[in-house]
Structure formats: C-alpha cells, structure tokens
Amino acid sequence: MAQSKSLRFLLRLAGKQRRKLILSCLCSAASAVFALIPFVIVYRMAEGLLHPQADVSAVRQLILVACIAVLLRFALMGASTMLAHTAAFHVLYDLRVRLIEKLGKLPLGFFSTQHSGRLNKVIADDVERIESFIAHHLPDLTASIIAPLLTTAYLFAVDWRLGIAALLPIPAAFAVQGLMSAHGRRSDDMQRMHDLSETMNGAIVEFVHAMPVIKSFNQTVHSFARYRHSVESYASLWTQIARKKTPLYTLFLLLLESGLLFIMPAGVWLYGQGAITLSVLLLFLLLGVGLTAPLRQISTLGHMMQNNLEGVRRIEAVLSEEEQSVPTRSEANSPQRFDIDFRQVRFAYGEREVLKGIDLTAEHGKVTAFVGPSGAGKSTAAQLIARFFDPAAGEIRLGGFDIRSIPPEHLMDLLSFVFQDVPIVSDSVAANLRMGKEGASESDMIDAAQAAQAHDFISALPEGYNTRIGEGGVPLSGGERQRLAIARAILKNAPVLILDEAFAFADAENEAKIQDALSRLLHGKTVVVIAHRLSTIMDADRIVVFDDGQAAGIGTHDELLHSCPLYAGMWQAHRDAGEWSLEGKEESDV
Ligand SMILES: Nc1ncnc2c1ncn2[C@@H]1O[C@H](COP(=O)(O)OP(=O)(O)OP(=O)(O)O)[C@@H](O)[C@H]1O
C-alpha cells in the first residue's frame, strides 16, 4: 500500500519528463532488437555455409548487416542513456528545489529536533537513488522485458518444440521470484534498513562533533556507544537479510541458468531424428541460454526498486511535514510597538509538555530577564518568540499582533537573537557580520564589532575582517564566536533583541564592557535576556522566574527576593558560589 503510493509519487515526478523518458525507453527497446540481429545472422550464416552449395558473397553481406546492427545497437543505447540522464537531471533538480523550498517553510525548530542524519540521508542519498531509477532502471527495465519477449518469439518461429524446452525453467524461476517479492513486501526489512541508515548517519555526525570530548577523555572509538551500536545493528541487519534471501535467490539463479539442461537433450534428440538442422541447434544453444539473463536483471531491478521506494516514502514524508502559516504582509499585521505578550502559552516536545500556560509581558523599551533552573523552559519560551515552533495552545503577541499573523520574513526583520549555539557560516568575518545587515558600511560594521568587544580579536586575525572563518577557516573560540554574534545582532539593529546565555563565554571584564555598550545601543528596544549568572540580570526592569514550565514569579530583583522563594534561593546559591565576589562591590551597593 505504502509502496504503491510511493510508486505513484515517483511516476508523477518522472511524468514531468514524459517525452524524454518515453523516447529513452523506445531507444532502449530498439537497441534490444538490434542486439538480437547478430544472433539471427550467425544462424543464417551457419545455414548458408552448411548448405552444399554455399554462397560466400551472401555471407559477406550478412557480416556487413551484423556490423551495422552492432553499431546501431550501441548508438541507440547511447541515445537512451543520454535522454534518461537529461530527464533524471531535470526531475532531480525539481525535487531538490521542492525540498529546499519546503525546508524554508518549516519551523526553525524542525531542524533542531530532527535527527541530523535523517535530512542528510533524504536530501543526499534518497534523492540520488531516484536518479538511478530514472536514468538507469527505467531504460534497463524496458530492454530487459523486450529482449526475452522478442527472443522467445523468434525461437518459437524457428522451432516451437525447442522453444518450449528453452522456456521450461522460466515458470519455476518466476514462482521463486514471486515468493521473494511477497516476502519482501511482507517484511519491514527495507524500512528497518533505512531507519538504521538514518541512525548511523546521525551517529556519525554526532561522533565527529564529539571527537574533542572523546579525545580529551582518552576514550577509544569503541567507547562511543551510539556510533558503534548503529554500525553494528546496520551490519547485523544486512547479514540477516542476506541470510534470509540467499537460499531463494540461489534457487532462482539455478533455475534461470538451467535452460541448457533442457535444450541440449531435446535438441540433440531432435537433430538425431532429423527434425532440425545443425544450425537450428546452434541457434538455440546460443540464444536459449542467454534468454534468461534479462530476467535476472529484472529481479535485481525489482529488489533495487523496493529500496528506492522506501527512500521515496521518506522524501514524501519531508515534503508533507506541516508548514507554518505564512500570512502576507499588510498594514494590518505590521506592529508599530514591540511589547511581547505571552498569553497562556503551552508547548510540548512530542509528549513532554515543557511550557504549561505561561503568561508574561516583555515591555517595549525595557529589559526582561528569564531565569530559573536548568530545563525550566526559558530557552524554549525565547525560541517561540522567533517561531522556532508554534505554541500548542495560547498565543504570543508582538505589538498586539499574534506573531503567527506576521509574515515570517517581516518577523525576522524585527528580531535579533543571540542563542547559546552560535552559527557561523564558512565565509569571511565581514560576510558573517553582514548577515545582520546586508550592505552594511565598513564603518557601521566596525562600530558594531567594537561595541561587542570583537574588533580587537578580528583585527588580530591573519586578514582582519576578510579572514575566512567557519568550516575550513580560522577556528574561533566560544567567546569569540559569541562576540561575533553579538556584533551581528547590534549591526542588525532590530527593535527586539533576544539574548540567550549570550555572555556565557565572556570573562567578567569583557562582559561588563559589552553590557555597557549594549545598554547604550539597546535604548528603546525590547530586550529579552536569559542568563544563569544572576548578577548579570539583577538590574533588569522585569525578571520572570521559570519553574517547570510555569512562571513562578514576576517582578524586579528586589520584589522577587521577598515574593519568590525560588528566586531568593537561587540568589543565595549564586552568592554562596562566590561568583558575586567578582561583582561584590556593585552588588553590595544594591
Ligand atoms: N529540541 C528539543 N527537543 C526535545 N526536548 C527539548 C528540546 N529542547 C529542549 N528540550 C527539553 O525541554 C525542556 C526545557 O528546555 P529549555 O532549553 O527550554 O530549558 P532552559 O530553562 O532554557 O534550560 P537551560 O537553562 O539548561 O538552557 C528540557 O527538559 C529539555 O530537555
């Protein structure tokens, strides 16, 4: 059922290149016809030469025809391959564009929850498999069907008795093939294999990322359990599949190859009876044995097809992921003020509810801090403002508009965020900064970098702002990446700024400098800041204390010290941790 749906999808995709594909299949079929001609000519030559009055000039003509047939066969094969590849290229191009467009419409959170290996496999491997279906399997399948049909018809025309002998093993081979296909359809082996392949891809990505940890803890490769298990499970599934399939497949091959066992005795007997000539026997020995080779190819293609269709199912699954609503921009959904209101916001990752009815307001022009124990839901709440996900219930308003009614690109224009994980693209420092504001002038860029305390380290890089960073470029420390992200956010100058642990890597001196610069630059903006070091947010206009997905307290630092036991406890712990001693003078002034 799922397979026939995937097959329809695949044919719909291929259907857009119908003309080229039909032509490719026709060329492939014609090439199968020309492949038969040399055999017919060998038969005719044998007939001619074995005749008492052999006509050698006629044989010469036959040789010429055979040469032309071979040339035409390969020319047609080439044309078929070229047409099929061109069609496949267009189909793949369309599919890749559709996938990329689709990914662009999915919530940003989709990419964090997805197994990194899954998307990688779908976009790279599964799409690539469609190429082999269109470019190779379709034309090959045509030739594999036409060739035995044509050969059988010809052999029957020459001698129907030997024709039957040549075909004897085929029904039995087909019965075994049917058993194999039925087993393949019933079992979920292909699905399991793709699942394991995704897990393995994901584990490899994770393994590479975790390499520094593995090395620093002196762990061997084998200690990375997820990677090892996924590779082992994949290998073991393959072994299981091979074990299950090998006996039937061997029987299938045996039956296919057994044509000679029937042709030889029947042929020799008929020849002995004078019922056939030597050239007919020769023809059957040449063609009858090869008759079954295309059938083996059909069986291999059938197996590949099952594998491909499972990949197609996964492509379809990505294409049918639920998209976020995308309203078009109008006066009616362009906020002029930038207060953020959470109204009874609920959100769950799968079954697990992590925001349980949050009500809060981050006022325009004020700094609102989210604090609370690890896992309380602070980052999730901040990410919902940028529509990484949409709430399961309740709404988030920006300047009075439900953020779902604001076009995503406009919402992104209004927000700047610096999250814990700083994405860096493989390009120059300047290009990374200008992602904040396309076409920003050099002096604006340098001002932003200076405010974020990033200018000095950028200037010290081998080519300054033109130094390549990211994959394959100069490596940056965690603190440097974060300062770059802060500079990018400053350059963007959006009315709403969300900082999630943006100073986690900064030392006390740099943090104070960045905060000082930000407090000047952020005047009049709505700022949401998440920080574990309470000393960094104690001056916030409003502090929201998160506890297990709920707002356990809202107020200023002083108010919360009296009204929220959780906050008072956190503050006490923060002071006890001794971190406050760095800021001791300021804090004692509060
Ligand atoms: N992408 C995700 N998929 C599934 N669960 C997630 C995801 N992100 C976070 N969680 C879970 O949701 C809960 C809330 O996480 P969140 O990051 O919002 O908390 P937090 O208060 O910001 O924590 P921290 O201070 O440690 O960053 C946690 O239990 C976390 O494990």
Q: How does DSSP classify residue 133?
A: I
Q: What pLDDT, on a 0 to 100 scale, did the predictor assign at position 325?
A: 67
Neighbours of 107 (CB within 10 A): 20
Q: What pLDDT, on a 0 to 100 scale, did the predictor assign at position 221?
A: 55
Retrieve residue 200's tokens: 């393995």
Full 3-state SS string of 405-454: HCCHHHHHHHEEEECCCCCCCCEEHHHHHHCCCCCCCHHHHHHHHHHCCC
How many A from CA of 376 to the centre of ligand 1? 7
Q: How does DSSP classify residue 555?
A: E
If residue 526 lies in a helix (H) or strand (E), which one and from where to where?
Answer: strand 526-530
Q: What pLDDT, on a 0 to 100 scale, did the predictor assign at position 382?
A: 92
Ligand 1, residues 358, 379, 385: which to mutate, most atoms within 8 A of Cβ? 379
Q: What pLDDT, on a 0 to 100 scale, did the predictor assign at position 356?
A: 94
Nearest CA to ligand 1 atom 16: 377
How many A from CA of 378 to the centre of ligand 1? 8
Query: Per-residue confidence at 587, pLDDT binned at 50, 70, 90?
Result: very low
Q: How far apart are CA 228 and CA 40, in angstroms?
A: 57
Q: Which of 209-223, 527-541, 554-568 has the highest mean pLDDT?
A: 554-568
Mean pLDDT of the 405-410 span: 83
Secondary structure (3-state) at 468: strand
How many A from CA of 405 to the centre of ligand 1? 26
Q: What pLDDT, on a 0 to 100 scale, did the predictor assign at position 380?
A: 92
- 235-284 pLDDT, tens digit per residue, is 888 888 888 888 888 888 888 778 788 888 899 999 999 888 888 988 88
The arrangement of strands across the sheet holding 526-530 comes to 415-418, 496-500, 526-530, 367-371, 542-547, 550-555
- 279-314 pLDDT, tens digit per residue, is 898 888 888 877 777 777 777 777 777 777 778 888
Q: Are 273 and 156 in contact (CB under 8 A)?
A: no
Q: Which atom of ligand 1 is nearest to the CA of 372?
A: 21
Q: Which atom of ligand 1 is nearest to the CA of 380?
A: 18
Q: What pLDDT, on a 0 to 100 scale, did the predictor assign at position 69?
A: 92
ipTM, 2 dp: 0.96
- Helix, strand, coil % (nearest 5) of the chain? 65, 10, 20
What percent of the chain stands above pLDDT 90? 21
**Distance from CA of residue 175 to its chain's centroid?**
38
Each domain of the chain, given as residue ranges in start order, spans 2-319, 331-582
496-500 and 526-530 strand pairing: parallel
Q: Are 418 and 358 in contact (CB under 8 A)?
A: no
Mean pLDDT of the 348-353 span: 88
- 31-75 pLDDT, tens digit per residue, is 999 998 988 888 888 887 777 776 777 778 888 888 999 999 999
> 353 — phi, psi (to 5°)?
-80, 125
Query: Per-residue confidence at 585, pLDDT binned at 50, 70, 90?
Result: very low
Mean pLDDT of the 461-470 span: 88
Q: How far apart are CA 16 and CA 11, in angstroms?
A: 9
Q: Is 377 in the pocket of ligand 1 (CB under 6 A)?
A: yes
**Distance from CA of residue 343 to its chain's centroid?**
35
Mean pLDDT of the 178-189 span: 75
Secondary structure (3-state) at 500: strand
Q: What pLDDT, on a 0 to 100 scale, did the predictor assign at position 388?
A: 84
Instruction: Output the average pLDDT for the chain.
Output: 82
Secondary structure (3-state) at 250: helix
Ligand 1, residues 380, 383, 498, 499: which to mutate, most atoms within 8 A of Cβ? 380
Q: Is 384 in the pocket of ligand 1 (CB under 6 A)?
A: no
Q: How far apart are CA 48 and CA 449, in angstroms?
A: 91
Q: How far apart are CA 515 and CA 535, in angstroms?
A: 12
Q: What pLDDT, on a 0 to 100 scale, did the predictor assign at position 582?
A: 41
Q: What pLDDT, on a 0 to 100 scale, did the predictor assign at position 588?
A: 40
Give residue 555's region: left, alpha or beta (phi > 0; psi -120 to 50). Answer: left
Q: Are 323 and 102 in contact (CB under 8 A)?
A: yes
Nearest CA to ligand 1 atom 26: 374
Retrieve residue 539's tokens: 């001056």
Retrieve residue 5's tokens: 């749906």
Indicate if the pLDDT at residue 581 is higher than 60. Answer: no
Contacts of 170 (CB under 8 A, 6+ apart): 255, 256, 292, 295
Task: Indicate the length of the chain as a whole number.
Answer: 590
Secondary structure (3-state) at 473: coil
Q: What pLDDT, on a 0 to 100 scale, did the predictor assign at position 106?
A: 78
Q: Which atom of ligand 1 is nearest to the CA of 532?
A: 25
Looking at domain 2-319, which of 1.20.1560.10, 3.30.200.20, 3.50.50.60, 3.40.720.10 is its CATH number?
A: 1.20.1560.10
Q: What pLDDT, on a 0 to 100 scale, did the predictor assign at position 282?
A: 87
Taking Cα atoms as reference points, which of 125, 101, 94 lies closest to residue 13?
A: 94
Whether 331-582 and 2-319 are alike in CATH topology: the answer is no
DSSP 328-370: PP-GGG--SS--EEEEEEEEEETTEEEEEEEEEEE-TTSEEEE
Nearest CA to ligand 1 atom 11: 375
Ligand 1, residues 112, 355, 378: which to mutate, most atoms within 8 A of Cβ? 378
Q: Are 458 and 449 in contact (CB under 8 A)?
A: yes
How would you label 109-134 residue by residue, b for 16+ Cβ within 10 Å and e otherwise?
A: bbeeebbbbbbbbbbeebbebbbebb
C-alpha neighbours within 13 Å on the C-beta side of residue 308? 23
What percent of the chain stands above pLDDT 70? 88
Mean pLDDT of the 552-578 span: 88
Q: Is 374 in the pocket of ligand 1 (CB under 6 A)?
A: yes
Bridge partner list, 546:
551
Indicate if the pLDDT at residue 112 is higher than 70. Answer: no
Mean pLDDT of the 339-349 span: 94
CA 230 vs CA 99, 204, 213: distances in Å: 27, 9, 20
Full 3-state SS string of 264-299: HHHHHHHHHCCCCCHHHHHHHHHHHHHCCHHHHHHH
CATH 3.40.50.300 fits 331-582, yes or no: yes
Tell me the one-letter amino acid at 187.
S
Q: Is 378 in the pocket of ligand 1 (CB under 6 A)?
A: yes
Mean pLDDT of the 483-509 span: 81
How many A from CA of 100 to the centre of ligand 1? 27
- 528-556 pLDDT, tens digit per residue, is 999 878 888 888 899 999 999 999 999 99
Nearest CA to ligand 1 atom 30: 375
Instruction: Pick the range with the lowest mean pLDDT from 103-112, 143-152, 220-229, 436-445.
Output: 220-229
